[in-house]
Structure 1
Amino acid sequence: MSLFKTKNVWSIYCEDDETFDQNSMVVSPLNSEADFIIIGSHHGVLRMFQPVLEMNEDALQTGFKASDLILEKSFSDPILQLGVGQLVSGSSLNQLAILHPKLVAVYSLVVKEGVAEHGVQYILKLMYAHPLKRSAANFTLGHFGGTLNRDFICVQSLDGLITIFEQESYGFCCFISTFLLPGPLVYVRKTDSFFTFGSNWFIQCYKYKNLYDAGHRTSDEEPSTTSTSVLSDWDYQMNEPILEMNVQELATKEYVVMILGEQNLYCLNLYGKLKFMKRFDFSPLCFTSYVLGDNIISIVISETSTVLIYQNTTLKWSAQLNFLPINIKRANLWNLKGCLIILSDDGRLECCYLGTEPSLFVAPPLNYQELDFEKAEEELASLTKAIKELSNDEIKLSNDFLDKQFTMNLQVDPELKTCTHEDSLSMAFNNQMCQLIIDIIPHNRVGELQLSIMVHRPLKCSPTTFFHSNFKEKIQFVCDIFLDEELEVPTLKCDVVASIITENGSPRNLTKYVMLPLGLVVKFSPPQKESEVKVNLSINRDLVPISVLFPDLMQDNPMEASGNAAGFANVTECGKTTSVLLAKSSQRYRIQSDSLVSLNLMVEQMVHRLGRYFQDDEGFSINFGGLLPISPLVSCVNRHFRVRKEVVRLQEKLSVLSSQYRLIEKRLVAKLKAKTPIPLTKLGILLNDTSMDISNTIEEFMEKNAELSKVQVELECCLNALMNLIRVMDVDKKLLILIESVFQPFVCDIENQNWEDVVECNLQYLLRTSLAKSEKDKLRAECSSFEEVQDITKMEKHLSQVLERLSRKMALETFNPPEEKGSPKLIEDEKQPIGLEIGKSSSRILSARARNSNALTRIPDSKAEGNEIV
């Protein structure tokens, strides 16, 4: 922001509902010594000001006086643009041209002198008007065709029609080439040409002679848009949209065109050569320019209400404005030359000049005392301690604050209801849904509350959000949860997030979760005796019968859950059956299925229901001591990677075919516009073939995209099953937090970063830190860059290494528990040879590794150990 501000000497506001743009103001002396400020609004109101600034002994007097507004006239049509020139034949005076959507009119300002100041009358007299058959966009004035002492009018329509009016008479009209939207239009007298901005972001130059030769000179009939357009004399590529253009004449009689783009200021000569360019680090809104000696002075307004003055490409001055203008001009008023006239889009008009406001701040003298590093270190330690204590207090305060504000209770209706959502998948299968009831009990008045309910696919919640404000009594929200797709369910966990805004404006969040009924997605099925994936969960208490663990399912199927084995299958009949078996003579459950995807939900339910059953028993624990299911997870990751690559390939193919289709269309249009007929048979065949390829590619892309969605859900199931097993392996808390952050059961593939890209980086980090095989691996640099995974084999290797090292680490801790403090140590003979010591320790290590590997890989024999699984 600039340190300086502009000085306001005169300002006025127009009506509240009026709007203006960059063409709504013109500054010209007309036929007077001082400049007139003329503005026209989109509501059709024309105002003409001539401020008279009086001077006294102290300073310049500012403010608007009633006599400054010399004319105000209301038109029935909006005013699009204003212009001043010699527009009446036989007169050397200047007239005012006003452009309406369907009319261009020329007025003359008539002054009737009076005896006193208030007796002077200004009258706007209509000289002539030309109706327009097409909606106008803008216009420009100039000595077209080399005429002297008279100006012609060039009107550009919204569809690219150029119409020339030779003062009171109609001239001709024609279309310009490559037109889509109208751009700024200026005229250069020296080369007798027009400059405009095309839709292809090119500055285009059209000679007046070429326009005249191709012009249509009958005012009754205008050429159609399919007529031959005039080609430009030269083009200059801008690579960005432009806002304004104007023409300046240098002291050397050279003309240049100043162009303001969205990011740059350009200066072109009349033959399309770039003289200089200034790149901005801000977004400009409008500008004006003038010549001072051999230099071009440009005044640019930025989006931060700052006026910046450039001499060619050098910034000379900047100042802050009081508001954000849309138009800026220079004017020579009475008693003030070179004043800046700025106009906002809502009708604020102001006259100002550049000035400064001195700052009252005086910098204190510098203190050159030597630093005491020991004292600074003590102060730093005390501040760090205070910040840490304050952070802990804020966390406690936040929790206490939420408890004092409201209580949130979650309850799932145990009885499943008939699904009332016709578009859901539940209507085709079990036709059931469950209702989640959320009770909010406020203790104080709550200003704003928003509830968000989140479930995993293929489950769907309706509605997903609730909003309530300014309440102090208990309120209740009810939402329906049902199946929406024919897929396996990653988890039945439903998260509810309550967000409130405190009185001081700070946000607070409270998150709770609840388990949804198992009967919503699962039904009883005959158990399977043999399966590919098996998981054994051991508990330190007596086994709980299946009928006790699953009472909600036993109500409808009492015979299925009466034994020591039960099967569970998805209600949509997708996936594999999962069996739960109880050991006869050991405290162990076996969960088995032919797919880890189908196994996931029952692992989660067994851990959850056993924990809920023994929730009052502090010594209860669940343990998983086997090998983690690595192979099914790796297979699912491989499939997800291949399907994702196929989707990306189809996207690129579709992009190429679309570009090819557009090129063929352009070629067809070019041949249709040609004067000589050309057969279009080959292009028609190519167009049809390309269209069929696009249709086939879109169908294939939709199929692969649906397959990708399915694979994402299956991968989420595998990750959730893996995390549930790791949580019951008694993993160190710090390591468990890292593992959970890596194997989050949420798979998201964005445009430039896939799930594999993030997980691969995290796996390398684990292998070089917490799960490093040796100290040498820990010394390697940690992976901190995300790169696209090109070879899935490398990632599969890292994934297997992480899971294997985690399983091996937990097995070693189980078979070799750490020694307790204060336990007696064996006293060895001090005179025993060191080599014998090394040999004994090596043999013990080898035998321990052998026993551990046998224990991990050997499947226990049910008859030999007496642990028969029924």
Structure 2
Amino acid sequence: MQLVWCARLQGMVPAQICVDTVGGVRGMVVLMDGKGKLQICYLGTDPPTASLVNTEMKELNYDEMEEEHQELLRVIRQTHGDGATEPEESLVVDSQVPQVLDLGMNEDDCDADDPVGRSDGMVMQLTVNLCVTLGGGKAVENVSITLKAPQCFALSQTSIFIDKVEPGRPPVIIPVVFRVWNKILCSNLEVAVCASYYSLNNEPRTVASSFWLPFALVAKPIPPVKNAKHKIQLDCNKQPPQLQVLFAVLLNQPHVSAALSQGMSNLLSIQYVSGTEATVLMLKSSGRFCVQAAEFAALWVLTQELCNRLYEYFGPGGEGAAADDEEPFFITFQDSLPLHDYFALIDDHFDLRRHLDELRKDLADRTQQYRVIQKRLLVRFKDRNPSPLNHLDTLLNLTFEQTLLLTDAIDDVEQALRTVSCHLSAATELVLLLVKFRFGMDEENFIALRRHLTPEVCDTTEQGWEEKVDTSLLHLLRTALARSVKEGNSLPPPMKVPQDTLKLRKRITTVVDRLATGARMTDDAVAGGIGPPEEEVPGEDGE
């Protein structure tokens, strides 16, 4: 026996079965059981009365197919060769950055007790004009401009909206006032600008640019300070100019006394708005600079400004520009890298993160306890014959006071974490620059290293800077800086919050050691970033 078709019956055992036409549909199965229950089933759709048959048997023309294939390939090559079609409209965002501060101007929106940088009672601020112009023949609408600055700066506006920008018109001028918080150390002077808009074809477009704020906005000269805890030494291959020439913009500010700038010879001391001091000392005989400060992170901005001024002086168009047959200017760092001081900042940052996480857990427990006590009190207040409170009201007040103390403690730790994050960002920038000078890295390898050991310190409740950098460096050690094929074939572990910073410090040390041996991230001589198999070195497997 073979089952041809079946239909489901709803709770009945048929006693009579017949096939009939119901509602114009043939083949309906009518069933009735012994109790008189009637049910109609349909076994399926009717088969098609006629089928489509290809009566014309046409042979395939392979020559025409090949011609069509070659034509498609030609169109693809032409498209890739020409590249993407440029939009008809071209939005440009330029910045006009003055070198002289706006002392005492437009202070109506600033109170006397605001924590911003001041000089002789006047607010240190700078007004940067953003110039938005449009090239092409079509206007654009709904232009949104966003500015991203380091945490130490207070901006008058970070998001700007422009209804319409038309071509051929004068540029749209947008003034942005920059001030500096006096409780946060400056970690960088670069400000990023991003403009987004939609074209007339409703296509999203973005334009990105950046500009540098003057060093005088975050620091001011002070009398010489010779004692410092941390210092680094930079060597130049050419005799540098006097410090008055390199830092002329800083010394020509209106709030800097002429006696201070004239009395300076080979030593310049500055004080950041946050209160930290730093000093740069030039040795005339050897062309060496010594940068020193009381805090390790305070070395960065002064070192960055010094290097920028030197490259500008000896670069193309500068006063000390080299001739065609002369050796180009470069800076070297001969001492050992200050990783010990850098690791101390990493430990401080990680300890604050763990402490903040513990406080948040305690706050969650206290708020849960407060809700439970509150519910019990409400139940007793609604009861007609309530039982004694048994000091529940006292426990409620005590829990409320503990909650307030925890919220205040969380605010203090978050503020401390922001401060340490700025210090860690500045210290990371300094270590990256010293690694570049120490091992003579080119710009491409330096950018690749900076993307893995990122100075952008951004912590969230789910993910922090330590685990992100640890995962990035592990990927770098297993790909571009791998010593053997075995290291490159291993799978990366899942990202999670570490128990301590021991592995992160080990990976940073391993990356520095491999860079010291000549390994590079973008070395063309090493195919795929993995060199010939070598014997594994104990303790440098990236685990």
**Please, what TM-score do these two structures have when normalized by structure 2?**
0.72
Q: Pick from 235, 258, 269 the counterpart of residue 567 of structure 1.
A: 269
Aligned-pair Cα RMSD in Å: 3.7
Change in CA separation of 1:679 and 1:446 when aligned onto 2, cut-off 3 Å: same
Assess if the C-alpha contact under 8 Å between 2:117 and 2:180 holds in 1: no
- After TM superposition, the structure 1 = structure 2 runs for residues 325-404 of structure 1, keeping only pairs within 5 Å, are 386=77, 389=80, 393-394=83-84, 398=86, 401=87
Assess if the C-alpha contact under 8 Å between 1:533 and 1:629 holds in 2: no
Aligned residue number for residue 535 of structure 1: 232
Other structure's SS at 2:127 match = strand
Change in CA separation of 1:441 and 1:671 when aligned onto 2, cut-off 3 Å: closer
CA distance in 2 between counterparts of 1:510 and 1:453 reads 12
Assess if the C-alpha contact under 8 Å between 1:765 and 1:783 holds in 2: yes
Other structure's SS at 2:518 match = helix
| Pairing 1:434–2:126 present | yes
- After TM superposition, the structure 1 = structure 2 runs for residues 575-594 of structure 1, keeping only pairs within 5 Å, are 575=276, 577-594=277-294
CA distance in 1 between counterparts of 2:375 and 2:57 reads 71
- After TM superposition, the structure 1 = structure 2 runs for residues 163-202 of structure 1, keeping only pairs within 5 Å, are none
Aligned residue number for residue 506 of structure 2: 797
Question: How far 1:456 moved relative to its partner?
Answer: 0.6
- After TM superposition, the structure 1 = structure 2 runs for residues 761-840 of structure 1, keeping only pairs within 5 Å, are 761-772=471-482, 774-775=483-484, 778-783=487-492, 785-809=494-518
Aligned residue number for residue 694 of structure 1: 403
Change in CA separation of 1:721 and 1:782 when aligned onto 2, cut-off 3 Å: farther
> C-alpha deviations, 1:16-70, integer Å up to 9, x for none?
xxxxxxxxxxxxxxxxxxxxxxxxxxxxxxxxxxxxxxxxxxxxxxxxxxxxxxx
Aligned residue number for residue 471 of structure 1: 166
Aligned residue number for residue 110 of structure 2: 422
Pick 1 or 2: higher relative contact order, CA cutoff 8 A, min separation 6: 2
| Pairing 1:410–2:107 present | no
CA distance in 1 between counterparts of 2:458 and 2:354 reads 14
CA distance in 2 between counterparts of 1:610 and 1:592 reads 18
Amino acid at match of 1:579: T
> C-alpha deviations, 1:772-797, integer Å up to 9, x for none?
3x326634515263222223222222
Other structure's SS at 2:490 match = coil
Q: Pick from 308, 328, 339 the counterpart of residue 608 of structure 1.
A: 308
Question: How far 1:489 moved relative to its partner?
Answer: 0.3
Other structure's SS at 1:426 match = coil
Aligned residue number for residue 452 of structure 2: 742
| Pairing 1:663–2:372 present | yes
Amino acid at match of 1:669: L
> C-alpha deviations, 1:789-815, integer Å up to 9, x for none?
22322222212222343345389xxxx
Aligned residue number for residue 515 of structure 1: 212
Question: How far 1:583 moved relative to its partner?
Answer: 1.9
Aligned residue number for residue 16 of structure 2: none
Other structure's SS at 2:502 match = helix
- After TM superposition, the structure 1 = structure 2 runs for residues 139-150 of structure 1, keeping only pairs within 5 Å, are none
CA distance in 1 between counterparts of 2:224 and 2:135 reads 51
- After TM superposition, the structure 1 = structure 2 runs for residues 11-160 of structure 1, keeping only pairs within 5 Å, are none
Assess if the C-alpha contact under 8 Å between 1:630 and 1:803 holds in 2: no
Other structure's SS at 1:641 match = helix
Question: How far 1:712 moved relative to its partner?
Answer: 1.2
CA distance in 2 between counterparts of 1:540 and 1:663 reads 72
Question: How far 1:515 moved relative to its partner?
Answer: 1.6
* Alignment gaps of 5+ in structure 2: 1-36, 40-51, 526-543
> C-alpha deviations, 1:568-593, integer Å up to 9, x for none?
111331x3x22112122223322222
Change in CA separation of 1:654 and 1:566 when aligned onto 2, cut-off 3 Å: same
Overall identity of the aligned pairs, in % = 22
Aligned residue number for residue 754 of structure 1: 464
Change in CA separation of 1:526 and 1:659 when aligned onto 2, cut-off 3 Å: same
Aligned residue number for residue 450 of structure 1: 144
Change in CA separation of 1:639 and 1:363 when aligned onto 2, cut-off 3 Å: farther
CA distance in 2 between counterparts of 1:491 and 1:412 reads 16
Assess if the C-alpha contact under 8 Å between 1:537 and 1:622 holds in 2: no
Assess if the C-alpha contact under 8 Å between 1:405 and 1:442 holds in 2: yes
Assess if the C-alpha contact under 8 Å between 2:98 and 2:126 holds in 1: yes
| Pairing 1:484–2:162 present | no
Assess if the C-alpha contact under 8 Å between 2:91 and 2:207 holds in 1: no
Aligned residue number for residue 278 of structure 1: none
Change in CA separation of 1:789 and 1:481 when aligned onto 2, cut-off 3 Å: same
CA distance in 1 between counterparts of 2:204 and 2:309 reads 35
Assess if the C-alpha contact under 8 Å between 2:117 and 2:181 holds in 1: no
Assess if the C-alpha contact under 8 Å between 1:735 and 1:770 holds in 2: no
Other structure's SS at 2:298 match = helix
* Alignment gaps of 5+ in structure 1: 1-291, 295-361, 812-817, 819-870
Question: How far 1:745 moved relative to its partner?
Answer: 2.2
> C-alpha deviations, 1:54-112, integer Å up to 9, x for none?
xxxxxxxxxxxxxxxxxxxxxxxxxxxxxxxxxxxxxxxxxxxxxxxxxxxxxxxxxxx
CA distance in 2 between counterparts of 1:743 and 1:703 reads 28
Question: How far 1:406 moved relative to its partner?
Answer: 4.4
CA distance in 2 between counterparts of 1:630 and 1:363 reads 80
Aligned residue number for residue 595 of structure 1: 295
Aligned residue number for residue 15 of structure 2: none
Question: How far 1:696 moved relative to its partner?
Answer: 1.6
**Please, what TM-score do these two structures have when normalized by structure 1?**
0.46
Change in CA separation of 1:704 and 1:769 when aligned onto 2, cut-off 3 Å: same
CA distance in 2 between counterparts of 1:567 and 1:782 reads 50
Assess if the C-alpha contact under 8 Å between 1:634 and 1:799 holds in 2: no
> C-alpha deviations, 1:450-509, integer Å up to 9, x for none?
322221111021122322214231221111000134111001112222333222222332
CA distance in 1 between counterparts of 2:78 and 2:271 reads 54
**Structure showing greater Rg:** 1
CA distance in 2 between counterparts of 1:672 and 1:678 reads 9
> C-alpha deviations, 1:267-312, integer Å up to 9, x for none?
xxxxxxxxxxxxxxxxxxxxxxxxx999xxxxxxxxxxxxxxxxxx
Other structure's SS at 2:315 match = coil
Change in CA separation of 1:607 and 1:800 when aligned onto 2, cut-off 3 Å: same
Other structure's SS at 2:176 match = strand
Other structure's SS at 1:809 match = coil
> C-alpha deviations, 1:647-676, integer Å up to 9, x for none?
111111111111111111111122222232
Question: How far 1:551 moved relative to its partner?
Answer: 1.1
Q: How many residues align?
A: 442
CA distance in 1 between counterparts of 2:293 and 2:492 reads 37
Amino acid at match of 2:124: Q
| Pairing 1:719–2:425 present | no
Assess if the C-alpha contact under 8 Å between 1:527 and 1:580 holds in 2: no
Assess if the C-alpha contact under 8 Å between 2:236 and 2:332 holds in 1: no
Aligned residue number for residue 21 of structure 2: none
Other structure's SS at 2:83 match = helix
CA distance in 2 between counterparts of 1:781 and 1:387 reads 41
Assess if the C-alpha contact under 8 Å between 2:238 and 2:287 holds in 1: yes
Assess if the C-alpha contact under 8 Å between 1:595 and 1:632 holds in 2: no
Change in CA separation of 1:441 and 1:696 when aligned onto 2, cut-off 3 Å: closer
